[in-house]
Structure 1
Amino acid sequence: MSTDDDLLVRLRDMWDECDPPPAVLADLACFALDHATADDEVLDVVRGPRLAAVRGDERSQLITFDSASLTIMVNVTAHADGSVRLDGWITPPAAYPVELRLPTATRSTSCDGNGRFAFTGVVPALAQFSVRANGTVTTPAIAL
């Protein structure tokens, strides 16, 4: 092995030890690629998960996704039984079909006329939202 190759191997080993990739990174990438199509518009995460204390044993976080065509805000509330509730709002509001994609299943609902939707009893896992609004709009995969 050349000196350069040896140096690069040692450098990689150092970074693997000091700052390893998150354990969920490979799963996130595979999950996102498995569900995305070339025609999907992918939203950007504007505001990521931030835990906020609330009464009792519940915790919630608000995540905002944005694109040129719409914005999705999702409030994730964790319950003491380990499940989460997802309350979402889409602007501009309309009765869009919404899918919650999980590794083991896909759940569907529709927004009301104000762009609101909800999923209850969700087991925390990697998740993506897909909205049919003048084409398909998909969020990046997130860990609930």
Structure 2
Amino acid sequence: MTVYTSAGLKVYIGGVLKQKSTDFVLTDFTTPPQTWVEIKEVEAAGSAGDTSEAVNFTALGDKRTRTQKGPRSAGSMEIVCGIDAADPGQLAAIAAEKSISDFAFKLVLNDAPAGGTPSERYFIGKVMSQSEQYDRASSIMKLNISLGINSNIVRVAAED
């Protein structure tokens, strides 16, 4: 088993992609092809993945609360960037925050085997917020982008 650092991870924003009632698959992001724009100067990319909502029921007769799995949510992803006012990816994310639409997102991990291709993650989401963070005199000014993930995460494995 080999593990990798997050260093080298790349985040991309695509175009508007509509919700559907079933899980997304890779072809939803490739047919027709998306135009991907890298969001650059990413310092942190947060986390993404499904969590089931707890649905509880307590039977009076046995005094035991039972937990069932309810709807799934991939949650929010918090992306932190160094502000680059000329970066097309940051500008696209800022513009997407003004939209009510879901956008396609792609992560490219830094886990390619020698001579191979890295793994990728695809999902749709809304840019829920974009805010600038200024902090101290010795700090880099940051752009914080919050994504509300509205689909399953499509995983594409790294290949030799």
TM-score by length of 2: 0.27
Structure with greater proportional helix content: 1
Larger RCO of the pair (alpha carbons < 8 Å, separation 6+): 2
